[in-house]
Structure 1
Amino acid sequence: MHGTIFSLLKRYVQTQYDHAAWVRLVEAAGLTSGDFSHKEVYPDEHLYALVGQAAVAAGIPPGELHEKFGEYLVPDLMYMYKRFVKPEWRTLDMLEHTEHSMHNQVRREHPENSPPVLNVQRLNENEVLIDYVSPRRMGGLAVGIVRGLAAYFDEADRIDVQPTTSEEGQRVQIHVRRTP
């Protein structure tokens, strides 16, 4: 997993709780350091351990914490990938174009990174079906990112996000509908 995700997780924990909470999570996860470079790639297991410990500390299931973290990530992701985003796009457009506009670019520029594959089918003007595929099994993060995009585009009250399969699988289907 790319170090940027770890840095953002650290910031998420520190803004939701405090720095001491981050230090406790790192220790509980059995890691020797809680500092991550945005230029490095770290084992996925480190992220699983940190999220698992954060979920225990927050008293919520790990999938729910993944969703909350996914929502939190959106402003930073939008900033990082703004050159790929057309000004007229909204939530469903972003979902429809993420794989080809952003994920493919990440794979070309940083082959060591492996974002999930998103097969997005535009069902109609107000609906998309996302087929999330990743051995990382972090569908909850994807669901959170969809919700975060809806908030980012000021459509949160109009966007309904429903995983139609378990969020813990390698393949997760997510149905997203906008009410007109």
Structure 2
Amino acid sequence: MHGTIFTLLKRYVQTQYDHSTWVRLMEAAGLSATSFDHKNVYPDEHMYALVGHAAEMTGLSAQELHEKFGEYLVPDLMYMYQKLLQPQWTTLDMLEHTENTMHRQVRQEHAENAPPVLQVTRLSPDELEINYVSKRRMGALAVGIVRGIATYYDEADRILVEPETSEDGEHVRIRVRRVAAA
């Protein structure tokens, strides 16, 4: 997994909890000597260990933590890829174009990094379906990112996110609908 994600995870833990929580988390995961660099790629097992121990420490499930972290990631991801975004896009447009914009660029720039494959089908002007496929089994992170994108586009109160998750999280179908404002 790309070092940027680990750097953002560190910042997430430090802002939601504190620095000592991050230090304890790294030690519990056996990564106390590891400093993550945004230019490198690290084993996915590091993320699994960190999130697993964070779940134990917080009492939240790993799935809940992945979702919360996914939401937290969005402003930074949007900033990093702002040159690929179209000003007229809405939440659904952004989701529809993620695979052919951001993920394509990540694959071109970092051959060793493999973002999940997103198969997005636009069902209507107000609905789409995302099929997330990744051996990393972090479908909950994708669900959180979808929710974060709705917040980014100031549509959180109008976007309904319905994950239909497989038991292992490797293949997740996420239905996203725009509904009338609450």
Decide: shared fold, TM above 0.5: yes
CA distance in 1, matches of 2:170, 2:63: 14
CA distance in 2, matches of 1:61, 1:22: 17
CA distance in 2, matches of 1:172, 1:157: 23
Q: Which runs of 5+ in 1 are unaligned?
A: none
* Structure 2 counterpart of 1:112: 112
SS at match of 2:98: helix
RMSD of aligned residue pairs (Cα, Å)? 1.0
* Structure 1 counterpart of 2:22: 22
1:96 matches 2:96: yes
Instruction: Give the deviation of 1:34 after TM superposition.
Output: 4.6
Indicate conservation of the 8 Å contact 1:23/1:34, yes or no. Answer: no
Q: Which runs of 5+ in 2 are unaligned?
A: none
1:73 matches 2:109: no
Indicate conservation of the 8 Å contact 1:63/1:168, yes or no. Answer: no
* Structure 2 counterpart of 1:130: 130
CA distance in 2, matches of 1:39, 1:33: 18
SS at match of 2:165: coil
Indicate conservation of the 8 Å contact 2:139/2:165, yes or no. Answer: no
CA distance in 2, matches of 1:144, 1:75: 12
* Structure 2 counterpart of 1:13: 13
Instruction: Give the deviation of 1:69 after TM superposition.
Output: 0.1
TM-score w.r.t. structure 1 length?
A: 0.97
Indicate conservation of the 8 Å contact 2:23/2:32, yes or no. Answer: no
Question: Matches of residues 22-101 of structure 1 in structure 2 within 5 Å?
Answer: 22-101=22-101
SS at match of 1:65: helix
- Give CA deviations for 1:34-88 in whole Å, capped at 9, x if unaligned: 5200011100000100011111111111000000000000000000000110001
Between the two proteins, the alignment pairs up a number of residues equal to 180
Question: Matches of residues 149-160 of structure 1 in structure 2 within 5 Å?
Answer: 149-160=149-160
CA distance in 1, matches of 2:30, 2:39: 22
SS at match of 1:52: helix
Moved over 4 A (4+): none
Indicate conservation of the 8 Å contact 2:140/2:169, yes or no. Answer: no
Worse-superposed segment, 167-176 or 75-84: 167-176
